[in-house]
Amino acid sequence: MVVYLIGAGPGDADLITLKAVKILNKADVVFYDYLANDEILNHVPDSAERIYVGKKAGEHYKTQNQINDLIITQARNYENVVRLKGGDPFVFGRGGEEILALMENNIEFEVVPGVTSAIGVPTSLGLPVTHRAVATSVTIVTGHEDPTKDESQVHWDYTADTLVILMGIGNIRENTHEIMKYRDGSTPVCVIENGTLPDEKVIFSTLENISNEDINTPAILIIGDVVELYEDIYNY
């Protein structure tokens, strides 16, 4: 029994790794959530059990503890158990919590990295998050911190040239207000909705105006001069 924690990539079903596909081909059971493209399940044998464990902003179909328990139970019954997660399993994916639970229960596991939306979504558009002479550093931060924490770890005073915010739409007004304490309101912002998917939408704005836009999830925000560079390149 091995549990494979696999990154499914940012959306487009072809953006999964070859290693992930090889493991999916021999899976006995697959746990998946809403960010993993359903088409990826075509790599799984017909005989394999497919278990949806949900998880979407504001809609927690199963709690993290319930998911951990389910994976542990199936790991005791099957040879190859796959836990498929959108993007990379360790980038705001709670993959670390799942492997800790497996370790506590002496269950063997392997982690297969995935293309994270934080980098893969802008890259697929041709928007570089770093660029010589424009941005030499990037910070990836959550826009929706665990509300049960005693103290916030997100202070918005990040000094990286580019900020990439995941799960940032629900609190966009509050967050951009905080960021403007450290960055100019005219700083360029790009929002990418449903990146790498057929219904992808790209919005260009500024820190002071972006919260007035109509944005659907999942979406990421990219903040910094790379956005202006991108606009210059593509309007050339």
Residues tagged active-site: 33, 55, 167
Footprint on residues 67-106 left by ligand SAM (CB under 6 A): 85-88, 91-93
Q: What are phi and psi of 87, to 5 degrees?
A: 65, -130
Q: Does 124 bind ligand SAM (CB under 6 A)?
A: no
Q: Which stretch binds ligand SAM (CB under 6 A): 70-78, 117-125, 145-153, 208-216?
A: 117-125
Residue 83 or 85 having the CB closest to ligand SAM: 85
Please report how close the Cβ of residue 175 comes to ligand SAM at its closest, in angstroms: 12
Q: Which two tokens stand for residue 33?
A: 């959530």
φ/ψ region of 78 (left if φ > 0, alpha if ψ in -120 to 50, else beta) reads beta
Q: How far apart are CA 167 and CA 10, in angstroms?
A: 14
Q: In what order do the strands lie in the sheet with 49-52?
A: 49-52, 29-32, 80-85, 2-7, 108-112
Choice from 1, 13, 72, 167 touching ligand SAM (CB under 6 A): 167
Using CB under 6 A, which of 217, 225, 228, 229 touches ligand SAM? 217
Residue whose CB is less far from ligand SAM, 46 or 59: 59
Kindly state whether residue 154 participates in binding ligand SAM, applying the rule CB under 6 A: no
- Residue with smaller CB distance to ligand SAM, 1 or 203: 203
Residues in contact with 23: Cβ distance below 8 Å, sequence separation at least 6, in sequence order: 4, 6, 80, 82, 112
The two structure tokens encoding residue 83: 């836990």
The DSSP output letter for 218 is S
Binding residues vs ligand SAM (CB under 6 A): 10-11, 35, 85-88, 91-93, 116-118, 121, 166-167, 192, 194-197, 217-220
